[in-house]
A and B are shown apart, each in its own frame.
Chain A
């Protein structure tokens, strides 16, 4: 017998859609373990035929950037427009970039 906790842990859910090339974050839910989280994700997030694959990860396993570091992290990129590939003509054969 395991000990009782008040609340199931939080899981983040990622779904790969019908036409999607990658899994996208769709939301979060509570579940007792990973298997349970997959089933709950199936019932909560794929009811309207949205998915072909589900990933779940315990929310506590995610390391997030700190909002207070927003300046040093992101602002240096703001004035570097040359990093966008908009100055080049892409040949059609290149396909999805």
Chain B
């Protein structure tokens, strides 16, 4: 009997679920953004993220070898099967929180995907190479917005700072470490997330400085998303919307 590579599956679900859940959250802006240009830009970002998800979850489904597809993984799993970090599932709240979150996430994704390009697993490397180009543009756009609004008016600065204060305790989870991470490192598939923490710190602190925003000093970090043991109450509501079609009409296609 062949052994299922559960560490690799877990790793791939983490890679795929982050862009899936953030992509869905971002798509909620479609038709609601503060300006037409931002509306289209956000929709583009959402589509990029969902595209990345397709690649990661397709590979996860293949490794799993149980006949499930990437669509099954996206639309038929329940809350506790998801492996995204908590930050991407919290509600958008406003444009400020949406853009600060995008920035904190992009500042992680860029160095992370950069190192994954050298993965010993060819598929992981290929997906990273393709996704990195998109992540680089996302980071450029989100950091510009963080600076423009942070260093904007008193009102925009205030809203960005409020968003940052709310999101900051969710950023520590990016750098979580468990048996899966250790197994990936041992097999040279991915480095430990903590290895890019310095890079993330320096990107974030230089952008926040320029934006006149202050990172909270409290080191407390929420966790439980990337391991699936403790998602926020928001993920269930998100999935109810995202999965409703496949749940109500199983196997529906168009």
Q: Using a CB–CB distance below 8 Å, which chain A residues touch chain B?
A: 1-2, 4, 8, 29-32, 35-36, 39-40, 43-44, 47
Contacts and interface: CB of A to CB of B under 8 A. Distances in A.
Interface in B198-250: none
B1 interface: no
Contact of A39 (B36, B144, B152): B144
The 8 closest A-B pairs by CB, nearest first: A43-B41, A40-B37, A43-B44, A44-B40, A43-B40, A4-B153, A29-B37, A39-B141
23 contacts: A1-B151, A1-B152, A1-B153, A1-B154, A1-B157, A2-B152, A4-B153, A8-B35, A29-B36, A29-B37, A30-B36, A30-B37, A32-B148, A36-B148, A39-B140, A39-B141, A40-B41, A43-B44, A44-B36, A44-B37, A44-B40, A47-B40, A47-B44
B43 to A, nearest CB: 9
Nearest to A3: B153
A43 B144 contact: no
Interface residues of B, number: 15
Contacts of A47: 40, 44
A50 to B, nearest CB: 14
A31 B152 contact: no
A31 B154 contact: no
Nearest to A47: B44
Contacts of B40: 43-44, 47
A94 B104 CA distance: 56
Contact of A36 (B144, B151, B153, B157): B144
B27 to A, nearest CB: 15
A40 B38 CA distance: 8
Interface string B136-159: 000011001000100111100100
Contacts of A1: 151-154, 157
A44 B153 CA distance: 26
B154 to A, nearest CB: 6
A2 B37 contact: no
A43 B33 CA distance: 14
B153 A43 contact: no
Nearest to B47: A47
B144 A35 contact: yes
A2 B141 contact: no
Contacts of B44: 43, 47
Nearest to B153: A4
A35 B148 CA distance: 12
